[in-house]
């Protein structure tokens, strides 16, 4: 038996940090959105009890340092699974990009293991397990459009985002999430994004209202070191994006466009600029539907 799962990337339409817990986790309020860009994971049983990950992508660990491995080990121990598992990972989401690539692969591992070994877990149960390994994992298990609070584990589903096109641009740099949050701790947040306004715009199906309210408190940290992010945003806005912003801790930038023609034009301009070797035309989706 072979089980195949798509692991969808996310963007943050809004990202605010409201505090920090004693254990070091940051308290957040975020509007999360799944986009149609995904890794593909395949799962099959093996007889020797080992967890074995194979991938074509260089630089990705295939041992206990990989979140996929950690999910499989957690479920194997908790549910006394004696079989091992072979996992094949086809990586399409940019690495170290602020798009929850590792977390969404972990979410797919929960879903894949649940199906392969017929564990009967609900999504809520998987979310409760997932937050032990990473704050973004519960959202990636749920997917769609959601308000994320706490450390990321308190999720409120929202109506689907209005139809639009999303251009995703990843410059040739990687950003450490830990570094970004450390730098944020050493500075003062002067402007907080309008998370409630973004939520209300989604509920009204007001695409322009979403575009003009995009906000990410981590941007000031990352862009101070990597000015290329602002250059990409500027090009997107000059070529039809109603709004453009860095996703997560970066460095990926996304632009929101009313129609595909505008997004394609912007794609061509960015491709010619040479600023971002990785470009993807995408759209918001709700994989849970």
Structure tokens at 199: 């939520």
Told to judge if 91 belongs to the known catalytic residues of this protein, a careful annotator would answer no
Told to judge if 225 belongs to the known catalytic residues of this protein, a careful annotator would answer no
Pairwise CA distance, residues 95 & 114, whole Å: 26
Pairwise CA distance, residues 115 & 264, whole Å: 38
Which residues are bridge partners to 15 per DSSP? 30, 216
**Candidate list 16, 105, 136, 170, residue with the active-site label:** 136
Phi and psi based region of residue 100 (left: phi greater than 0; alpha: psi -120 to 50; beta: remaining): left
Q: Confirm if 151 and 21 have CB atoms less than 8 A apart.
A: yes
Pairwise CA distance, residues 170 & 245, whole Å: 12
b/e per residue 155-170 (b: at least 16 CB within 10 A): beebebbbebbbbbbb
**Candidate list 6, 10, 91, 259, residue with the active-site label:** 10
Q: Which residues are catalytic?
A: 10, 136
């Amino acid at each position: 038996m072979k089980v195949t799962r798509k692991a969808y990337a996310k963007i943050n339409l809004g990202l605010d940090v409201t505090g920090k817990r004693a254990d070091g986790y940051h308290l957040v309020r975020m509007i999360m959105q799944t986009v149609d860009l995904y890794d593909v994971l395949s799962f099959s049983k093996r007889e020797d009890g080992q967890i074995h990950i194979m991938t074509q992508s260089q630089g990705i660990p295939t041992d206990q340092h990989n979140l996929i491995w950690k999910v499989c080990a957690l479920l194997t121990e908790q549910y006394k699974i004696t079989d091992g598992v072979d996992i094949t990972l086809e990586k399409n989401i940019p690495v170290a990009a602020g798009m929850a690539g590792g977390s969404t692969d972990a979410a797919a591992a929960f879903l894949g293991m649940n199906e392969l070994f017929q564990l009967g877990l609900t999504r809520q149960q998987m979310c409760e397990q997932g937050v032990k390994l990473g704050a973004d994992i519960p959202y990636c298990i749920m997917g769609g459009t959601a308000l994320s609070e706490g450390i990321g584990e308190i999720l409120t589903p929202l109506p689907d985002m209005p139809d639009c096109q999303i251009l995703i641009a990843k410059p040739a740099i990687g950003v450490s999430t830990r570094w970004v949050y450390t730098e944020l701790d050493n500075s003062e947040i002067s402007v907080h994004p309008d998370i409630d306004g973004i939520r209300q715009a989604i509920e009204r199906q007001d695409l322009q209202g979403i575009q003009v309210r995009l906000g990410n408190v981590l941007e000031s940290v990352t862009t101070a070191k990597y000015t290329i992010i602002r250059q990409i945003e500027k090009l997107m806005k000059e070529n039809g994006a109603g709004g453009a912003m860095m996703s997560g801790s970066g460095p990926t930038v996304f632009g929101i466009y009313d129609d595909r023609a505008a997004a394609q034009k912007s794609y061509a301009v960015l491709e010619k600029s040479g600023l971002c070797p990785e470009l993807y035309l995408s759209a918001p989706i709700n994989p849970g539907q």
